[in-house]
Amino acid sequence: MKDVHNLVARLQQETYVFPRIEDRIRAILADFAAHEGNIARVYANEAKENIIECISIQSARMRTMFEHFPEILLIDATHDTNDSNYKLFSFMVHDAMGKGQHVQ
């Protein structure tokens, strides 16, 4: 039971606490991009008061998988999966075993 309490205490310390969602997203993306090989990009529409239109993340492992297996790219899109109606696009490749691996 002590291990569970220690885990909960550690996770509470690592929680991102910010007054605005924009600040929390910025911190999470910066934390992700701080790891070597990871990329996080935010695309905003300057004509519409810098409204964010796309957030793209790619880990070092995802980049490596795409470099090794670029022949077939699978694209999946979902919509209406949340209250804000954001769309989620997933990019995958087939590895040497024929299994799908996310590359973005």
Confidence grade of residue 93 (pLDDT, cut at 50, 70, 90): confident
Residues whose CB is less than 8 angstroms from the CB of residue 56 and which lie 6 or more positions away in sequence, other chains included: 39, 40, 41, 42, 43, 104
Q: Based on the domain organization, do 2 and 51 belong to the same domain?
A: yes
Which residue in the block uniquely carries the two structure tokens 């695309």?
43
pTM greater than 0.75: no
Q: Based on the domain organization, do 68 and 54 belong to the same domain?
A: no
pLDDT in tens, 20-71: 878 888 888 898 899 999 999 988 888 878 788 888 889 899 899 888 988 8
Q: Based on the domain organization, do 40 and 4 belong to the same domain?
A: yes
Q: Based on the domain organization, do 50 and 94 belong to the same domain?
A: no
Phi-psi region of 55 (alpha: psi -120 to 50; beta: other; left: phi over 0): beta
Which residue in the block uniquely carries the two structure tokens 């911190």?
27
Whether 11 shows a pLDDT value over 70: the answer reads no
Could you tell me the residue range of the domain that residue 96 belongs to? 59-103
Q: Based on the domain organization, do 38 and 49 belong to the same domain?
A: yes
7-to-11, 18, 32, 63 alpha-carbon distances in Å: 6, 22, 21, 31
Q: Based on the domain organization, do 23 and 50 belong to the same domain?
A: yes
Query: Within a 10 A sphere around the Cβ of 104, how many other Cβ atoms?
Result: 18
